[in-house]
Amino acid sequence: MKRLFYLTLLALPVFFAQACAITIPHHPSEALSGIQAPAPNTIVVADIGDTRGRGPTVIGSGVSYWLPVKYYAKEGNIALPVSHYLAKSLTDDLNAIGFRATLANNPTTRLPMSPDAAGKAARQAGAKYLVQTRTTEGITKYWGFLLIPFIEPVWTRVGLDVDLIDVESGEKKESFQINHKEVEWYFAKIFILDALFDAGIFGKHWHRDAWGKTVVPDALAKAVVKIAEKAK
């Protein structure tokens, strides 16, 4: 029995290392229903940086009772930088409403590119517009049964600086910021050992929904609508 206990303790770090890496498929926000591009213009999207001051793949953290956990984005078995994920998701959303959009960043390295490199990529692609995104915020957090009994708040913040540039003239048609925050509420379990389930199961689910289905898609929809108003 004692040997089994020690083996369990040794296995826990491996379990949580796996539990904290999350694949987050993107689903366009319902807010985009009925939104159409004014014209099927070609757009190149470029991720030009992440200024969050966190690890490039960190999407969240949580504390449930005694157990603090961090969460990271991945795609398959490969780490997925947050700024790349947001730029790619924005590209998908622009395509969904009728633009012809492509992502300029290298799909293998997934690193941000310089504004000059982004401009060059847009000219080479023959695009009408270049959309540059800089990630300024992106985090999900939860507290499990610490402050409010039986209720567990999960909040997500997303921030983007976006530039819409006319490729031919090189002039900025629009520069704007997206700052979006939502709090989602869940029933909190009442047992100390439920912290394990929060970390390994519920926490992953909350992060996957916030990033792939609810809060982050809603933030990106705001950017899509602003781009559609100007990219005519």
DSSP assignments along 142-205, one per residue = EEESSSSTTEEEEEEEEEEEEEEEETTT--EEEEEEEEEEEEEEEEPP-STTHHHHIIIIIHHH
Cα–Cα distance for residue pair 82/50, rounded to 1 Å: 8
In a domain, 191, yes or no: yes
In a domain, 15, yes or no: no
N-to-C CA span, the chain: 70
Residue 9 is predicted with a pLDDT of: 44
Cα–Cα distance for residue pair 151/188, rounded to 1 Å: 5
The CATH number that applies at residue 60 is: 3.40.50
Output the six-digit token pair for 207.
Answer: 């992060």
Cross-strand partners of 184:
154
Contact 52, 137 (CB under 8 A): yes
- Run means of pLDDT, 10 residues per run, the chain, 232 residues: 45 50 93 94 98 94 74 91 98 98 96 97 98 97 65 89 97 96 76 54 81 96 97 90
In a domain, 63, yes or no: yes
Domain ranges, residue 137 = 35-230
